[in-house]
Amino acid sequence: MTASVAVVTIARGRHEHLAGQVAGLRRQTRSAEHYVVVSMGDPALADVVAAHAPAEWDVHHAGLPVRDGRLPLAAARNLGAATAIDAGAEHLVFLDVDCVPDRTLVERYAAVLTAQPGSGGPVVLCGGVAYESAPGPGPRRLRHHPARPALAPDRVEVVDDVTLFWSLSFAVSARDLTSLGGFDEAYVGYGAEDTDVGQRLRRAGGRLLFVGGAGAVHQYHPTQDPPVQHVADIVTNANTFADRWGWWPMQDWLERFRELGLADRGLDGRWVTTGRRVDPPVG
């Protein structure tokens, strides 16, 4: 019997991106049985889905408020997982709202999860994500992340470096996500909540697999590099992570924040924000 699949996305705003994701899910070679959309203080997401999703889809909406201006990313993913499991899903596919799945994404994730042995520790799958270039003359270009493996559509590769886990696009059985404890809700806002999952996967003796044929396109939106709009979240979450695991995540960003005068190490060695504000070029 084929395991039921739920696609889970969390969002606040990005309504055009959500419509693009729905369009990608309509083109799948294997449809998901459930679609779960978790709002972080944005009930209008339900209207976007209603306007673009077929009436026969089994759509589930859930929501939770923003916490003191910070997006509760970890809690929203946990709520999405719980909603999908309550709906009967056995396999969970998480896609960021910016991501449009390639036609075979659901089929490939489902097939590889089904092929995993029922013992030997939890298994988490990641697919490739190509970043769309900014609008301009000529066709938009796609940039693949240089740190992630680029695989043929029929290839699956075990990745020893669990820090390469990313929550943009991943799949896991409901059983294995439950065994890992989901996402740690002590992380609020941007940064480190997915790196934490990778560490718990390693501690549990699990495996991280990258899956060819489960690609997605990350739709363009303006960003800041480094992400100074998230400096407070990143500093707070980096301290939480270091308390858990004994090393600093996101070190490149932290050091760049220090160069910009936005953050520094305190006398106790922990990172703190300085209160300074800068506006680097958007890129």
CATH of the domain at 89: 3.90.550.10
One domain, residues 9 and 116: yes
- 217, 128 in Cβ contact below 8 A? no
- 248, 189 in Cβ contact below 8 A? no
One domain, residues 59 and 190: yes
Residue 134 pLDDT level (bands cut at 50, 70, 90): confident
CA 64 to chain centre: 17
One domain, residues 165 and 186: yes
Per the structure, the count of domains in the chain is 2
Residue range of the domain that includes 65? 5-218
One domain, residues 174 and 104: yes
Give the pLDDT score at 283.
Answer: 44
Range from 140-149, 220-229, 256-265 carrying the lowest mean pLDDT: 140-149
One domain, residues 30 and 139: yes
Give the integer Cα–Cα distance in Å for 107 and 127: 12
One domain, residues 214 and 240: no
One domain, residues 214 and 235: no
Give the E-state strand segments of the chain in sequence order.
5-11, 34-40, 59-64, 91-95, 99-101, 123-132, 142-144, 156-159, 169-173, 207-218, 263-265, 271-273
Is residue 281 over pLDDT 60? no
Give the pLDDT score at 279.
Answer: 61
One domain, residues 132 and 56: yes
One domain, residues 143 and 260: no
One domain, residues 151 and 50: yes
Q: What are 101's two structure tokens?
A: 């799945």
- 43, 37 in Cβ contact below 8 A? no
Match 């000529």 to its residue by tokens.
138
